[in-house]
Structure 1
Amino acid sequence: MTTITEQPSVHRNLESKKIEEITFLINNENATVTRAIEEALPQINQLIYAVVDKLKKGGRMFYLGAGSGGRLSVLDVIELPTTFGIEKGIVNTILAGGIEHLIEAREEMEDNFYEGWERLVNENVTINDIVIGISASGTTPFVLGALEACRKNNITTGCIVSNPGSPIAKQADYPVEVITGPEFITGSTRMKCGTAQKILFDMISTTAMIQLGRVEDNQMIHVQLINNKITDRAVKMLMGRTAIGSYEEAKTLLLQHGSVKTAIDHLK
């Protein structure tokens, strides 16, 4: 396979450039990411269809990764229960080295071929679930070993990679190959690859939540009331979707029922 992500940067002598030059060049490189994602949209859509199908039937989704991509998936998973009011454990991350070591960047754990599958087994993964491997290179042993084991056990798999024809993509039922090209700093896949991964996590989870009815119109009707800002937003949302004209009345009803959706259902 061709490891485009490891090819030399087209930008040379970076240490001699001014700040203005560096930021201009990085921004230009980042502009190529959305074009790469656009080319992969058919693959992305098929993966999302599979995710939605599993979740609608009561299954779970697991991101599985190491390094920057794995850590970025943790951020997505953390946000979903609050934003969309889903139960914790529906969308999950299996991170090489464990989420408890998130800030330690235990990169050496990505070379463990067996740990990913062992961790999935500990989570009681079944054929009702879907596992999405994350690897910029498409070769990460932690991810590859887990996807191979998933396929042997008839568990649906997907992946997000940044090189064409990778071993991990070959183990995925729904491969997504977003080819972002050589990095600004040679091999630093925390840059364009990481940017693409973050966009894809947002795209997958948000689209899935919309399809699962966790959004109406363009609003987070199941958002959890965890702070004053979100509560204020939800009160105004409730007022905009009902005939309630009093802020205090809307707030009382909202706090009584816990979400915009349940408050509206009560009124109906």
Structure 2
Amino acid sequence: MNLNKLATEQRNQSTMNLDTLSTIEILQLMNKEDQTVPESVKKELPQIEKVVEAVKESFQKGGHLVYVGAGTSGRLGILDAAECVPTFSADPTMVQGLIAGGMSAMTVAVEGAEDSITLGEEDLRNIQLTEKDTVLGIAASGRTPYVIGALEYAKKVGATTASLACNKDAEISKYADINIEVEVGPEVLTGSTRLKSGTAQKLVLNMISTASMIGIGKVYKNLMVDVKPTNDKLVERSKSIIMQATECSYEEAEKAFFAADKNVKLAIVMILTKLSKEEASEKLDQANGFIRNIIE
């Protein structure tokens, strides 16, 4: 293992005197470095597009998107997966995050777990991975054995494989059908890939999950019409979405919301088409969930 070759392990020449700076100087320097991350992501948009198309295909076949990573990379995958449930009313298995060492590793490092090339395979076996699924291996370094093992097994199963690294010519890229390599350069704090690398990974995961969900009809205009109203804030947001999508009053939105059993998308179709709940539901099924296909 020669980490010295990795850009993420190099010393940042702009931060050599980090420990001598004032608080505001440290913050300004970190902010300046963070501003370079979106440009690095921009260079990989064509590769990110390929992953989104693969994920959409998986969803359309009834498959899943599975993030696999260790440490910060694994935690970011689990975070993105968890947010898909309330944002898009996605089944909890539709987007899943696996982390080396299991869920306890979300808060406490599990020694040696990321160095096991067999644990990744075991975790994918446990969720019964199939050829319909897409597996995205995430590793800032691009060399995590846990991720490599997972990608190797995913290929054997016939699933689509993709990788996300923060170094060029990453080892995990060799095991993926599609590779994303966002080179963010040396970190402000040498080797601390929870910083720029983590930010880059979060930006990419945001793109993949959001664009994929848009692609299967879970968004109308720029509204999250499949939001899951699991608390008071989301109930009120749901009514607001109905109002914005239909230009109706609060009272009408609230009435439709409850008439549709708190299904925002269904309520919108009911108002726009003046159909009953049953008729609107049938229309949605025929349109594969795309509101625009119904009203146009």
TM class by smaller structure: over 0.9
For 2:254 and 2:95, the matched residues in 1 are separated by: 30
Question: 2:52 corresponds to which letter in structure 1?
Answer: I
Q: Any conservation in 2 of the 1:111–1:142 contact (CA below 8 Å)?
A: yes
Match of 2:264 among 257, 260, 263: 260
**Residue 146 in 1 paired to residue 150 in 2?**
yes
Query: In terms of mean alpha carbon deviation, does 227-236 or 28-37 score higher?
Result: 227-236
- What is the RMSD of the two structures over their aligned residues, measured on CA atoms? 1.5
Unpaired runs of at least 5, structure 1: none
Unpaired runs of at least 5, structure 2: 276-296
Residue 46 of structure 2 is matched in structure 1 by: 42
> What percentage of aligned pairs have identical amino acids?
40
Residue 161 of structure 1 is matched in structure 2 by: 165
**Residue 248 in 1 paired to residue 288 in 2?**
no
Superposition deviation, residue 243 in structure 1: 6.1
Q: Any conservation in 1 of the 2:129–2:154 contact (CA below 8 Å)?
A: no
Residue 286 of structure 2 is matched in structure 1 by: none
Residue 195 of structure 2 is matched in structure 1 by: 191
Cα distance change of structure 1 residues 23 and 234 upon mapping to structure 2, 3 Å threshold: same
Residue 129 of structure 2 is matched in structure 1 by: 125
CA deviation profile, 1:78-98 (whole Å, cap 9, x unmatched): 111111112110110111111
Question: 1:159 corresponds to which letter in structure 2?
Answer: S
Secondary structure (helix, strand or coil) at the match of 1:226 reads coil
Residue 226 of structure 2 is matched in structure 1 by: 222
Query: In terms of mean alpha carbon deviation, does 236-245 or 5-14 score higher?
Result: 236-245
Superposition deviation, residue 60 in structure 1: 0.6
For 2:84 and 2:157, the matched residues in 1 are separated by: 28
For 1:18 and 1:215, the matched residues in 2 are separated by: 45
Residue 85 of structure 2 is matched in structure 1 by: 81
Q: Any conservation in 2 of the 1:5–1:189 contact (CA below 8 Å)?
A: yes
Residue 57 of structure 2 is matched in structure 1 by: 53
Residue 9 of structure 1 is matched in structure 2 by: 12
For 2:210 and 2:107, the matched residues in 1 are separated by: 25
Scaled by the length of structure 1, the TM-score of the pair is 0.95
Query: In terms of mean alpha carbon deviation, does 253-262 or 216-225 score higher?
Result: 253-262
Superposition deviation, residue 256 in structure 1: 3.5
Secondary structure (helix, strand or coil) at the match of 1:104 reads coil
Scaled by the length of structure 2, the TM-score of the pair is 0.86
For 2:194 and 2:246, the matched residues in 1 are separated by: 45
CA deviation profile, 1:126-155 (whole Å, cap 9, x unmatched): 111110000001100100111122223322
Superposition deviation, residue 237 in structure 1: 2.1
For 2:242 and 2:96, the matched residues in 1 are separated by: 30
Secondary structure (helix, strand or coil) at the match of 2:190 reads coil
Q: Any conservation in 2 of the 1:66–1:107 contact (CA below 8 Å)?
A: no
